[in-house]
Structures are given as C-alpha cells and as structure tokens.
Amino acid sequence: MPILQPGKHPVLGILGGLGPAASCYLYQMLIDHTPATCDQDHIDIVISSRASTPDRTAFIVGKSKDDPFLVMEQDGKSLVAYGATVLAIPCNTAHYFYDRLAAALPVPVLNMPRLTVAEARAAGCKKLGILATDGTLLAETYQLMCAEAGVECAVPSPEHQRGVMAVIYDQIKHGKRADMNLFNAAADDLKRQGCDMAVLGCTELSLVKRDEKLGSFFIDSTEVLCKNALLACGVQPIGFD
C-alpha cells in the first residue's frame, strides 16, 4: 500500500479509457464510497481516458503490433505532471505492462490483480476462478498473483472462455447488457472445477455485477481497486460489504 508523503496533498490519477465505461464506473464508485458531506470531502482525481490506446489483448495474443505501453507510459507521466501522487489502472489486461509502467513512473501504481487476490485470500478463498480476457489469461496475470499468494486457481474451458470474451467484447463494450447464459455457464464451469470464488478479472465484467446483482461467489476487481485507491489517498471507504 502506498504511503502518503508527509505534507503532500494526495491526488489519484486514473489511467483510463481501457475501456471508457469501466473508467467511468470506477469514478462513480470512488464518489459513492467516500464519507463526504460536501465537495471538499472527496479526493482529488485526475483522469486520462485515452480510448484510442491500442487494444491490450490484441497485442498480448499477437494479433496486433501496436504496443499499448507507449501510450500508457505517456499518459502516466502526464497524470504525474498534473499532480497525481498515486495511479490506478482500471483495466486488468493492462497490468501485463505493470512492471514496466511502475518502473517508468516516480509515483506508486496500484496493482489491481495483486490486491484482488490478496483480498480473496483474506476472505478464505482456497481456489480462485479467473474470469478475464484472453490477454489476461495468456499473460497469466492472475495465475502468477495466485501462486504468489498461495491460492489455487482455475480458468474456464476454451468453450466457456469464448463465451466470456463474447460478453466482454460483443456486449459490454458495445453498451449492451451481458448474456447471462454465457456468463453463468462460465461461472458454473469454474464451480465444477472446485473454485470457491471467482474474480471478475476484467473491469467490463464489473459492470455485470453492477447490472445483474451478482452474489458472494464473485470478487470484483474494480471494487478492490476503489477501496485501495481511497486508502492510498488517506480516506477510509464506506459502503462495502
């Protein structure tokens, strides 16, 4: 957890647009979970929503040669120049570039997958199912965090993973509601594999929890990021179960 520098006013930088709806949801969540009675009680936030950032999954799986890191690095430096003292990236797939980005920037960058796995473990999770993009699965972002934390993990079968990708890319990113038959089929596959929790390891999937009122089997990476962003800015979040 980043420690506030004495005497330095905290400013959260959101490296967003990856996609825009997920960034907007994080911003609203930060507002909703801040104990505030006036404008000045909220944290200061600067947001870069560069939706033109090349697709992260396409680059990771080799379908595109457009490296998103160059844009992310530029935007990260711009957020710091604007006053950000800590950064949050509301995109799990973009954490493929986390180490390079954290090394390139002079302020702490919250690691959403690591924080999410840590919260799942603290909640008693023994085996975590991973609902995420093909890019996140191929990069083994959550698998590595699970190994680091001593938590078993599992991913959907290829058939059900295609369903997850359809929910993310063909529905949520199109502004549509999720096909819950596809989503639930993937979740049921993870339950059959012995998972006692599943991570919504794509911030588009966080919108499924918002819209469909998902139960306690799911841990939402956007919620975890929100909590830790507020804590990093010296605010005790409210309203989480």
* Residue whose pair of structure tokens reads 């870069």 in the numeric block: 48
**How many CB atoms are closer than 10 A to CB 66?**
11
- To the query of whether residue 233 is one of the catalytic residues in this protein, the response is no
Catalytic residue, candidates 91, 146, 153, 233: 91
**How many CB atoms are closer than 10 A to CB 188?**
12
- To the query of whether residue 202 is one of the catalytic residues in this protein, the response is yes
Per-residue b or e along 170-185, where b marks 16 or more CB atoms closer than 10 Å to that residue's CB:
ebbeeeeebeeebbeb
**97 CB contacts (<8 Å, ≥6 apart)?**
56, 68, 69, 72
Per the structure block, which two tokens stand in for 41?
């009680």
Catalytic residue, candidates 195, 202, 226, 233: 202
Nearest to 79 by CA among 23, 25, 40: 23
**How many CB atoms are closer than 10 A to CB 44?**
14
List alpha helices for the chain, DSSP H: 20-32, 56-60, 68-81, 98-104, 112-122, 134-139, 141-149, 158-165, 180-192, 203-212, 221-232
Catalytic residues: 91, 202
